[in-house]
Amino acid sequence: MTLFRTISGLALLLLFAALAYDLKRQWKNWNAVREFLVSQMRLPLLVWQKRQALLAENILLFARRIVFLLTVLVFLLLAITGFVPLLVLGDHLTGILLVIHVTVAPLFALSLSALALLWAHRLRFLRSDGEAVRGLINNRYQEKENIIRFAWKTCFWLVSVLSLPLMLTVILGLYPLFGTEGEEVLIRLHGYSALFLMLVAIVHLYLTIAYVKQSPEQFVKE
């Protein structure tokens, strides 16, 4: 528990420090960063308020946005209930937080599946993505947009892949197939799967709001 708590705390601290540095670099001062983040927090409300116009304009686009926002909301609930007791209290997940975590988990599985179905085609890897990777490997100059696009897509697919061991460890733990030691291994695997998925999901969400949403035509191609 202590080792996992240390690894999780350091990983999250380093990640948020890197994201804060990038935000400061983009927006020049912390007041602008704060205003930008506040504006992004209002996005779900704005999408809901404009739902009629969005539905009339493009039903599929509206479905993508709603499913994305729902998945983010459920993910945040799972992350808070799963990691706050560990990082703050240094204890296992129990009580009302455990009830919320277990209740929300199936919704996350459903929303993530819907997200994968709705976004898989748009976030497929194209020939330009392969060229960007080969350019990086060969130390050739690459446009920032190409690198961000590849990282954004990679994070999306990594979230989809990492969700499999995350869910599988819980499902296997429900059956009397493992002894006490086996259950402890499954719990550890579930924790590390959750940690890696959370780190990748945070990066994907950050790239979405900090870069892709600002100029989607540069990053999203049908």
Q: Which pLDDT does position 14 carry in this prediction? A: 95
Last residue of a domain, one of 119, 138, 158: 119
pTM for this structure? 0.87
Buried b (16+ CB within 10 A) or exposed e, 161-181: ebbebbbebbeebeeeeeeee
* First CA to last CA distance, the chain: 45
In whole angstroms, what is the distance from residue 47 CA to residue 44 CA? 5
Question: Are 134 and 149 members of one domain?
Answer: yes
Last residue of a domain, one of 119, 149, 179: 119
* Angle made by CA atoms 155, 157, 161, in degrees to the nearest 5: 115
Q: Which of 21-30, 127-136, 192-201 is the most confident on average?
A: 192-201
Q: Which pLDDT does position 218 carry in this prediction? A: 56
Expressed as residue numbers, the domain containing 16 is 1-41
Q: Which pLDDT does position 195 carry in this prediction? A: 93
Q: What is the mean pLDDT of residues 33-37?
A: 81
Question: Are 60 and 75 members of one domain?
Answer: yes
Higher pLDDT, 214 or 19: 19
Q: Which pLDDT does position 52 carry in this prediction? A: 65
Last residue of a domain, one of 88, 119, 150: 119
- Token pair listed for 38: 């506040």
Question: Are 50 and 101 members of one domain?
Answer: yes
* Angle made by CA atoms 6, 194, 130, in degrees to the nearest 5: 110
Question: Are 133 and 221 members of one domain?
Answer: yes
Provide the number of structural domains found in the chain.
3
Question: Are 80 and 141 members of one domain?
Answer: no
Question: Are 138 and 156 members of one domain?
Answer: yes
**Model pLDDT for residues 136-176, shown as the tens digit of each residue:** 777 776 677 888 888 999 999 999 999 999 999 988 888 87
Determine the angle formed by the axes of helices 127-137 and 144-173, rounding to 10 degrees. 100
Question: Are 126 and 218 members of one domain?
Answer: yes
Question: Are 51 and 29 members of one domain?
Answer: no
Question: Are 49 and 23 members of one domain?
Answer: no
**Model pLDDT for residues 82-115, shown as the tens digit of each residue:** 888 888 877 777 788 888 888 999 999 999 999 9
Higher pLDDT, 13 or 220: 13
Question: Are 130 and 214 members of one domain?
Answer: yes
In whole angstroms, what is the distance from residue 19 CA to residue 174 CA? 37
Question: Are 155 and 101 members of one domain?
Answer: no
**Model pLDDT for residues 44-93, shown as the tens digit of each residue:** 666 666 666 666 667 777 788 888 889 999 999 999 988 888 888 777 77
In whole angstroms, what is the distance from residue 212 CA to residue 215 CA? 6
Question: Are 66 and 159 members of one domain?
Answer: no
Distance of CA 77 to the CA centre of its chain: 12
Is residue 139 classed as helix, strand or coil in its secondary structure? coil
